Structure 1
């Protein structure tokens, strides 16, 4: 198997020891069943912000990987046993056969959230979570995933269909419009990223997407500028943006995304 270490110059320096150890522990547990370990999310899109961003990791394993291995994997990667230097670790494990074909399902074997600022979650049942998160993450992995170990994610993970991805984006916008469990700045910037994807078919970082939207959405310029400023701060220092403005913006984004085919 081709091995790739986490030493590339795209990687935030403080994350390298953590991702190296993470990859070693995943390999130790999964052994020959391991196909890919890849960074996705803000790390892959080049906008990881220390103190604010999570580390998003996608793992692909053989279809016959034992359930016991998945439970052991969750145990050895959980913070603080493996201390996460980021706001949190969001790690999802998929079977290789599932990710090789476009799907609108969640389809994971393990969904692990852990870290100093992230509510703990360990799920082995893909029915536990809304599918849109995973559809979007797999698309980002195919487009921009950064291999940490094994095969390149582009060669393992199907890109997803335009129809399924637009449906997932609409669900994401509705979820962020509702606001439950999301910081106001993240709601706004995720709306920007969703809108840019709907218009261009490409995933960008949240900040880059906000800057694109800012150039053509004068009515929301103040809100977008404030959201960008807030997003530059640690998660605990996020600014409480005006609720009515956030609601109006998310409603506009939803209408724009729903009009996209």
Structure 2
């Protein structure tokens, strides 16, 4: 029997049985070493798009979790052994000893990517990964993490220092400027989210952030609205966006992040 979620009404109906089973399997593998399971990313920000969004989950365990359990967990949750109804599952496992202090490092014990539209990958060496995505995700989780099981996110996840977070945002914008491996609409919407965070100190859902940028920045409104329209479609039918316009927009986003860093002394 699946373990009941703590707040199932906050989750899309398409995902509830899947997340219940994910929590049950995680409890079975980790046993008393399990501290918390959170939904993060688009689920926590209430902007999940079925057929487009990934399911983002953070698992917190005690440092005493036996090492083989991480490999067992990766196997138990891998698609199609546990069929993922979303585009993919991005699950990160951290130890409480790492999460208790602010950090700019990746710091994970397991990074699992799996699902119908994601290549299966289980990584156990955080030193091999760019750290900036994980610092951003932990900031979002600290502020908005949706509890599926265990202790609340704010009790177990320390937010990165502001200067480290701005450096992580800057690095994410640089990666999106390169463009490789990212859909153009997602690059633009992540840029909007970065700008809104720099201006307000709040993490917003991508489409909400895009609306704010489109209203405030008339020159970029057509591109941002086109990105939102593409984001409404499945990944397989995403609409191409003008490459030069995307690069110009992301250069402007970089300038916004740099300005915020200068003004804050970071």
Q: Same fold (TM over 0.5)?
A: yes
Shift of 1:8: 2.9
TM-score by length of 2: 0.95
Task: Determine the C-alpha separation between the residues in 2 that align with 1:158 and 1:107.
Answer: 12
Asked if 2 retains the 8 angstrom alpha-carbon contact of 1:114 and 1:120, the reply is yes
Is structure 2 residue 208 aligned with structure 1 residue 208?
Answer: yes
Shift of 1:199: 1.4
Task: Determine the C-alpha separation between the residues in 1 that align with 2:218 and 2:120.
Answer: 39
Task: Determine the C-alpha separation between the residues in 1 that align with 2:97 and 2:130.
Answer: 21
User: Residues 16-31 of structure 1: matches in 2 within 5 Å?
Assistant: 16-31=16-31
The 3-state SS of whatever aligns with 1:14 is coil
CA RMSD of aligned residues (A): 1.1
Q: Corresponding residue for 2:103?
A: 103
Runs of 4+ in 1 over 3 A off after TM superposition: none
Q: Deviations over 1:218-238 (max 9, x none)?
A: 111110110000000001010
Task: Determine the C-alpha separation between the residues in 2 that align with 1:119 and 1:215.
Answer: 37
Q: Work out the number of aligned pairs and report it.
A: 259
Q: Corresponding residue for 2:232?
A: 232
Is structure 2 residue 8 aligned with structure 1 residue 14?
Answer: no
- Structure 1 spans left out of the alignment, 5+ residues: none
Q: Corresponding residue for 1:134?
A: 134
- Structure 2 spans left out of the alignment, 5+ residues: 262-266
Shift of 1:121: 1.6
User: Residues 144-223 of structure 1: matches in 2 within 5 Å?
Assistant: 144-223=144-223
Q: Deviations over 1:140-176 (max 9, x none)?
A: 1110000101111111101221111111100111111
TM-score by length of 1: 0.97
Task: Determine the C-alpha separation between the residues in 1 that align with 2:191 and 2:130.
Answer: 18
User: Residues 19-168 of structure 1: matches in 2 within 5 Å?
Assistant: 19-168=19-168
Larger RCO, structure (CA 8 Å, separation 6 or more): 1
Cα gap change, 1:224 to 1:193, in 2 (>3 Å): same
Asked if 1 retains the 8 angstrom alpha-carbon contact of 2:4 and 2:20, the reply is no
Shift of 1:6: 5.1
Shift of 1:249: 0.5
